[in-house]
Amino acid sequence: MGRPSLLLPLCASVSLLGGLTFGYELAVISGALLPLQLDFGLSCSQQELLVGSLLLGALLASLVGGCLIDRYGRKQAILGSNLVLLAGSLSLGLAGSLAWLLLGRSVAGFAISLSSMACCIHVSELAGPRQRGVLVALYEAGITVGVLLSYVLNYALAGAPRGWRHMFGWAAAPALLQSLSLLFLPAGTVGAATRKDLIPLQGGEATKLDPGRPRYAFVDLFRARDNMRVRTVVGLGLVLFQQLTGQPNVLAYASTIFQSVGFQGGSSAVLASVGLGAVKVAATLMAMGLVDRAGRRALLLAGCALMALSVSGLGLVSFAVPLHSGPACLAVPNATRLSGFPGDSGLPRGLAPPLPPTTDQSPRQPVLSTSEKTRPPPGAKDPTALSLTPPARLSPTPEHALLHWTALVCMMVFVSAFSIGFGPVTWLVLSEIYPVEIRGRAFAFCNSFNWAANLFISLSFLDLIGAIGLSWTFLLYGLTAVFGLGFIYLFVPETKGQSLADIDQQFQKKWFPLSFGHRQSSAGVQYSRIEVSAAS
């Protein structure tokens, strides 16, 4: 235990497995929601509440998690969050009512949010300038692998009885493996030194824990002291633009979006989403190879520009695809409902009995009718169905087939661009720009805005489509990405090749050069090599 040759791989495994758990929990609902609707007879509002419950739990963790991380340490916070995640997975796997599902999703959201913050900070503090970018980016790689794994399992378990229980239960596996790896890692840089750690240390990072160091209160994040206000602007800007460009909806509603642009049937849409996940993994691996070479700023600029172009292209393509004027609610027959569900009265509240469908009813396919469709109650929305226009379906024309594939390409470029830029780099920059004394609270503060924006974007997606249409919604996301590009160019500096102490000193200047990391030579990076005795 504590052998230097194992510490770097263990650090990498903690980052990768933490991201895998996060990505799996975030995306598994896209495949589990329809089986849950069939089993529990969920109404549109209940489905949306179930989707948003994880975000609510994550938001709560971001509000209180910073204090926990700074008080009890990064390692203890990760271990504690994994225990909480096990409790949430147990609640979801054994759930027999909507209340237990909501509780389990909220608990899981709290756990993955706390773990994500502590994991990125812990890894950034253990690793040196040459490894920090790759190791923190591994967390994003884990997220993409987790998303892809959730899509694959969703497809494999789509026809299994109560398959959604297995979907939720598998989230515990990577959390257990991460906890096992974490037990062999030191609690921090001081612990790394006492355990003969050969991971390059930040120049003087261990001395930052000295009681003589200046202390920061939470309100200092908004003051001019040590340029903390500028750091907060950089952090908040990155997390807000990361969400306001519409990325959460691509993950949570990937299958739905593909159906809305013409991929018929649930199976083809899920398969398209699996392809989307594979592209996302490949793009993240590319970012890992470039983050310490091209730099953080360059990846953010390139990724945001590609996001603006691709999501705008998706909006233009959807103009040519006939869509329903707004989202419709799936009607669920009474036979598919579980007995004993609170308030069980047959159909979801406010819905009339469904009319006979013109297509074979399938658990993976929306119910469509050539006559008047069942109307949802006022304000009801459904995150599982964006229905196509009801008229009789003919064989798709070559032009429409080309548009469908163009939409697929645009969406793949969009998620690839996110995985190159905002995905890994946002959390890397947040773990670098704040002093160690307030890093946990500052990271959590920015993360609270991240989850709040995520919740807002997810819950407003279907309302926005109903108000302005799918095409204009995507074009609005494209315009937001253009504003994000301007923000990155003006405010986000380059931090590659810098120790955390050097980055802190650069930010303390009233005016700092945006490219202060470009001219940093390897000779300027300080390492602490500690000899290892035979006994260790």
Q: With a cut of 60, say whether residue 262 has pLDDT above it.
A: yes
Predicted confidence (pLDDT) per residue in 265-284, tens digit: 656 666 666 777 788 888 98
For the segment 205-229, the average pLDDT, to the nearest whole number, is 72
Predicted confidence (pLDDT) per residue in 373-412, tens digit: 344 444 444 443 444 333 344 455 666 667 777 877 888 8
Question: Rounded CA gap, 534 and 462, in Å?
Answer: 63
For the segment 43-50, the average pLDDT, to the nearest whole number, is 83
More confident site: 24 or 325: 24
pLDDT at 396: 57
Residue 518: band (very low, low, confident or very high) from pLDDT cuts 50, 70, 90: very low
pLDDT at 380: 43
| Coil, helix or strand at residue 388 | strand
Stretch among 121-135, 301-315, 370-384, 459-473 having the lowest mean pLDDT: 370-384
- Ramachandran quadrant class, 355 (left: phi over 0; alpha: psi -120 to 50; beta: rest): beta
Residue 508: band (very low, low, confident or very high) from pLDDT cuts 50, 70, 90: confident
pLDDT at 101: 92
DSSP secondary structure letter of residue 222: G
Stretch among 189-198, 225-234, 519-528 having the lowest mean pLDDT: 519-528
Q: With a cut of 60, say whether residue 239 has pLDDT above it.
A: yes
- Cβ–Cβ < 8 Å for 45, 138: no
Q: With a cut of 50, say whether residue 446 has pLDDT above it.
A: yes
Residue 302: band (very low, low, confident or very high) from pLDDT cuts 50, 70, 90: very high
pLDDT at 255: 64
The pLDDT mean for the chain works out to 74
For the segment 216-243, the average pLDDT, to the nearest whole number, is 89
pLDDT at 33: 83
- Cβ–Cβ < 8 Å for 426, 207: no
Q: With a cut of 80, say whether residue 29 has pLDDT above it.
A: yes
Q: What residues contact 224, with CB distance under 8 A and at least 6 apart?
A: none
Q: With a cut of 70, say whether residue 369 has pLDDT above it.
A: no
| Coil, helix or strand at residue 444 | helix
Query: How many angstroms from the chain centroid is the CA of residue 370?
Result: 38
For the segment 165-177, the average pLDDT, to the nearest whole number, is 89
Residue 177: band (very low, low, confident or very high) from pLDDT cuts 50, 70, 90: very high
More confident site: 131 or 476: 476
pLDDT at 417: 94
More confident site: 134 or 203: 134
More confident site: 194 or 224: 224
More confident site: 59 or 203: 59
pLDDT at 442: 92
- List, in order of start, the domains of the chain with CATH numbers: 1-185 (1.20.1250.20), 218-328+398-509 (1.20.1250.20)
Residue 480: band (very low, low, confident or very high) from pLDDT cuts 50, 70, 90: very high
pLDDT at 519: 43
The neighbouring-strand residues paired with 365 are 362
Q: With a cut of 70, say whether residue 192 has pLDDT above it.
A: no
pLDDT at 527: 35
State the CB neighbour count (10 A cutoff) for residue 3: 13
| Coil, helix or strand at residue 526 | coil
* Consecutive H or E run containing 414: helix 398-420
pLDDT at 240: 94
For the segment 247-267, the average pLDDT, to the nearest whole number, is 64
25: tokens are 């929990």
Residue 164: band (very low, low, confident or very high) from pLDDT cuts 50, 70, 90: confident
Type of residue numbered 355: L
Q: With a cut of 80, say whether residue 14 has pLDDT above it.
A: yes
pLDDT at 266: 58
